[in-house]
Amino acid sequence: MSSHAMTFQHLRWQILRNTMATLFSQSWWQLVIIGACCVAIWVVIFMISWFGFHEMKTQPTWQLPLDGSFMEYLFDIFFFMLTLLLTFSTGIILYSSLFSAPESQFLLTMPIPDDEIFAYKYQGAVAFSSWAFVLIGSPVLLAYGLEVGSGAPWYYYAILPAFFLGFLLIPGSIGSMLCLFIVNLLPRHRVQLLVGTIIVAILGACIWSILWFREAREFGVGTRTWFDNLLNELSFLGGSLVPFHWMSRGIKYAARGEPDIMAYNLALIWSHGLFLYLVTVWLSTMLYRRGFNRLASGDSIRQRYGGHWLDNLIQLPLFMLDEQTRMLIVKDFRAFRRDPAQWAQVIIFIGIGCAYFFMMRRFYEQDIGRPFKIGISMLTLVATSFLMCAYTGRFIFPMLSLEGNKFWILGLLPLDRSRVLIGKFVFSAMGCLAAGGLLILFSNLMLGMAWIIVVVHLITIVILALAFSGMAVGLGAIMPEFRENDPSKIAVGFGATVNLMACLLLMAVVIAAIAGPMQYLHGQTPDHAVPLEEIPLYVWAGMTVGIGIGVAAIWLPLRAGIQSLRAMEF
Amino acid sequence: MIELIHVSKSYGNKPAVSDLNLTIQPGELFAFLGPNGAGKTTTIKMMCGLLFPTEGTIRIAGFDLVERGEEARQQISYVPDTPFLYEKLTGRELLQFVADMYQMPPDKATKKITEMIELFSLESFVDDLTQNYSHGMRQRTVFASALVHEPLVLIVDEPTVGLDPRSIRLLKDVLRNETRRGATVFLSTHSLDIAEQLSDRIGVINNGKLIGCGTLDELRQRADLHGSLEDVFLKMTEEDATPAPTGDKAIETAITT
């Protein structure tokens, strides 16, 4: 390791040590809560996965051998999606980290080889973009190991981190290369290229999803034949030249107790991962500083930004608000749409939503039983709520913190500070209501759900959209991080973790209280919709409790946030 | 020590710096003046290797910044107008980091760090995290980190903004001492009195072009004005901004002046 690389490692260690020391001395409970949240998430995923694998193995209609080709295909899909997500997220994080972070400018003026700065930033970006996937992936694979055959051998568990680490190098390097090429090759149209690439990827995912469920028409959803045919559709994923297939095969053979094939696939992953990493670092010697220069001087000195039709469009539904609040919302919207790193991630969110919608659409077209349809409608409600929860946590929670040292502008304006939060709340709620409401309405109508279920689901989504917005905005004001300029880092900080956990808890309570009883009732009598007058008292009681909790979750954090903001000194 | 040879830089189609020629000798303090948007920061960023010239060559201590960037940057320290500090490092750790990055021998690094702490009076806060520093403390720490590796070229952009009189005095002494040591100081500033007091030569840039370069007396002659640097600067930049009169207008202008 070169002396520069060692100095960077030492720097990382010092920053980590000082951060931990500060947290322990000033607010050790933050660390404890973050740790507890991570453990809770890990345990929940582990339990669900364990139950799922157990059911797949033991359910009479399925009885799938977990060490067969079926699981290999499922892992192919999982790691393929992981490859896509990690490629984009690493590329986006690296773009901000390499080209707009003040630290990069500082380092570029020092006598450090460009590839060493790049490698330092690359390691940070890969670690930052992948820790959540490791948190989610490890309990799934651990549960798989426990359920496969009569339990996986010991080295299966020992080798999993090696598989993950090696695999992360591949999408990380591809994302980094994309980032370098975009900045260097098309500096004047880089934003358009980025959007184009993401749109093509999303369209590809949608087409793929449609193909994926095409077989459902012929064989019916949920049958084993359907799965066999469906997996045949995905045979291209199982090609021996794709890295995610090496992961699938390696993990499967490790679980089956065949260490030779496991080691072969692990070697494939590491050799290709390291090779791609070397190529990326080599490219950075030529492209990093050049890209920095092109990005800084590709456009005119002062780019002119004027009004945009989108700004006018967003004001249309805000006619009932006063002028000042409207202007605050437009300000937030402008800041958002002018930051490619922000809206590119929103496009990824929309892509995930669209992929889910298209996948589910194939279920709607089937003559499947009503109990199954009712279950699908509930799943859609949960998935939509989860997307709203992730959106508010990632994009809305950091908004107040991002005002940071600019807050004196808003603080000195002749307006009540509560309007700042109300504006952000409306901005968030508009997005959530439009996307979530439409998705729920269309999916339920296509499933042919009874109108009462549609209404109940819409009430649930409205309550959750408003509550998530209220909590993200309110908690964002109670626990701001004014020192941090990077929204993605604020979104994984202490306050955002608390917000995420509170939102997930609220989501479970509100869905269980408002939609749960109605879903249960219709599940009992799946052949017909229950008339209004026959709906039992417990359904109404559940709805009342759920709405009450939801309203409290909208108002209380928002009020506390307003009080905190009013008392804040700048 | 610093050579800019026919240097031009464009942002897209718009020129920011045009055909800049400048040579600054070792031990010289060169003040670089110009109105906002004149091209000062672009020039500085090119001298630090952050931006590449569209045309021309920049050499630092004889090293071409594009061809032999690392060797050139080894000789440079750059203090920008809004300097970066690692918030989760102490001042001492930051100084050590910079010394390590410039690959100073450990004994020499320790000695220089102690010297810098003493010179800039950092003792009382050097072991606190920089996130807790005031503006003055940050600026002193940044200067200490810029000088710890004994650069041959010190490039400073607006160093006195927000500093109290004592800190400004310290800064002036430090810059003068650096030139006595043989270092070249390139000082970009709007503070004309500091430029007047400290500089050996002054360059004035406007609209990307060097419209004047020399000692204060030479600039006075160039501007045909025997006033302060402020008067000279204002006259030069005003003249440069006014389109050259032609015909009857030229005769009228000549009569009135």
Q: What is the pLDDT of residue A200?
A: 73
CA dist., res. A503 & res. A468, Å (int):
6
Cβ contacts (< 8 Å) between A112 and chain B: which residues? 70, 101
CB contact under 8 A, A105 and B129: no
In this complex, which of B10, B88, B100 lies closest to A15 when CB atoms are compared?
B88
Cβ contacts (< 8 Å) between A3 and chain B: which residues? 100, 103
CA atoms lying within 13 Å on the CB side of residue A282: 6
CA dist., res. B156 & res. B31, Å (int):
10
CB contact under 8 A, A293 and B89: no
CB contact under 8 A, B51 and A3: no
The residue among A218 and A430 whose pLDDT is bigger is A430
| Closest of B45, B38, B48 to residue B17, by C-alpha | B38
CA dist., res. B134 & res. B118, Å (int):
18
CA dist., res. B75 & res. B93, Å (int):
22
> b vs e for B21-55, b when ≥16 Cβ sit within 10 Å of the residue's Cβ?
ebebeeebbbbbbbbeebbbbbbbbbbbbbbbbbe
**pLDDT tops 70 at residue A480:** yes
The Cα of B176 is separated from the nearest Cα of chain A by a number of Å equal to: 23
CB contact under 8 A, A292 and B10: no
Chain B residue with CA closest to A115: the answer is B70
Any long-range contacts for B166-175 (C-beta under 8 Å, 24+ apart)?
B167/B136, B167/B139, B167/B140, B168/B194, B170/B120, B170/B121, B170/B140, B171/B143, B172/B197, B172/B198, B174/B119, B174/B120, B174/B143, B174/B147, B175/B29
Contacts of B9 (CB under 8 A, 6+ apart): A297, B15, B16, B17, B39, B42, B43, B46, B51, B53, B54, B208
Q: What is the pLDDT of residue A222?
A: 53
Tokens of B218: 């030479």
Q: What is the pLDDT of residue A212?
A: 60
Q: How many CB atoms lie within 10 A of CB A520?
A: 15
> Which strand ranges, in their side-by-side order, compose the sheet holding B184-188?
B76-79, B153-157, B184-188, B29-33, B201-206, B209-214
Give the predicted TM-score (pTM) of the model.
Answer: 0.76
Tell whether B15 is within 8 A of chain A (Cβ).
no
pLDDT band at A280 (very low <50, low <70, confident <90, very high): very high
Domain boundaries, chain A: 1-299, 318-570
The residue among A415 and B119 whose pLDDT is bigger is B119
Chain B residue with CA closest to A101: the answer is B84
Q: What is the pLDDT of residue B185?
A: 94
How confident is the model over B96-140, as pLDDT tens digits? 999 999 999 999 999 999 999 999 999 999 999 998 898 889 999
Q: Which spans in A338-369 are helix H?
A: 340-364
In total, chain A counts a number of residues equal to: 570
CB contact under 8 A, B97 and A7: yes
Tokens of B193: 């009195």
Indicate the residue type of A192.
Answer: Q
**pLDDT tops 60 at residue A230:** no
Residues A519, A381 contacting (CB under 8 angstroms):
no
In this complex, which of B9, B80, B88 lies closest to A297 when CB atoms are compared?
B9
The secondary structure of chain A in percent helix, strand, coil, rounded to multiples of 5, reads: 85, 0, 15
Residues A11, B101 contacting (CB under 8 angstroms):
no
pLDDT band at B241 (very low <50, low <70, confident <90, very high): low
B217 alpha carbon, distance to own chain's centre:
21
Indicate the residue type of A231.
Answer: L
| Closest of A559, A398, A381 to residue A474, by C-alpha | A559
Burial class (CB in 10 A: 0-12, 13-18, 19+), A58: exposed
Cβ contacts (< 8 Å) between A286 and chain B: which residues? none
Residues B75, A110 contacting (CB under 8 angstroms):
no
| Closest of A477, A460, A506, A508 to residue A396, by C-alpha | A477
Cβ contacts (< 8 Å) between A113 and chain B: which residues? 70
| Closest of A281, A564, A516 to residue A382, by C-alpha | A516
From residue A66, how far is each of A343, A345, A479 by CA, in Å? 40, 35, 45
How confident is the model over A142-194, as pLDDT tens digits? 999 998 878 889 999 999 999 989 999 999 999 999 999 888 876 565 566 66
Cβ contacts (< 8 Å) between B52 and chain A: which residues? 289-290, 293
CA dist., res. B240 & res. B236, Å (int):
6
Cα-based torsion angle of the residue sequence A260, A266, A272, A277 in order, rounded to the nearest 10 degrees? -150
Q: What is the pLDDT of residue B252?
A: 44
Cβ contacts (< 8 Å) between A102 and chain B: which residues? 82, 84
pLDDT band at B165 (very low <50, low <70, confident <90, very high): confident
- Which ipTM did the prediction report? 0.88
Rank A205-209, A447-451, A539-543 by mean pLDDT and report only the highest: A539-543
Q: What is the pLDDT of residue B253?
A: 42
Q: What is the pLDDT of residue A192?
A: 61
Residues B178, B199 contacting (CB under 8 angstroms):
no
Cβ contacts (< 8 Å) between A483 and chain B: which residues? 87, 131
CA dist., res. A174 & res. A180, Å (int):
10
Q: What is the pLDDT of residue B242?
A: 57
The secondary structure of chain B in percent helix, strand, coil, rounded to multiples of 5, reads: 45, 25, 35
Q: What is the mean pLDDT of chain A?
A: 82
CB contact under 8 A, B49 and A301: no
Q: What is the pLDDT of residue A301?
A: 44
Cβ contacts (< 8 Å) between B48 and chain A: which residues? 108-109
CA-based diameter of chain A, in Å? Answer: 79
Range of weakest confidence among A79-93, B39-53, B171-185: A79-93
- Residue to test with chain A: of B9, B55, B100, most A Cβ within 10 A: B100
Tell whether B88 is within 8 A of chain A (Cβ).
yes
Among chain A, residues having any CB pair with chain B shorter than 8 Å are: 3-4, 7, 10-11, 14-15, 18-19, 22, 102-103, 105-106, 108-113, 188, 289-290, 292-293, 296-301, 483
In this complex, which of B11, B50, B73 lies closest to A300 when CB atoms are compared?
B11
Chain A residue with CA closest to B88: the answer is A15
Q: What is the pLDDT of residue B243?
A: 53
Cβ contacts (< 8 Å) between A292 and chain B: which residues? 50
Write the Ramachandran bin of B171: left for phi over 0, alpha for psi from -120 to 50, otherwise beta: alpha
In this complex, which of A18, A110, A300 lies closest to B101 when CB atoms are compared?
A110
Cβ contacts (< 8 Å) between B51 and chain A: which residues? 293, 296-297
Tell whether B14 is within 8 A of chain A (Cβ).
yes
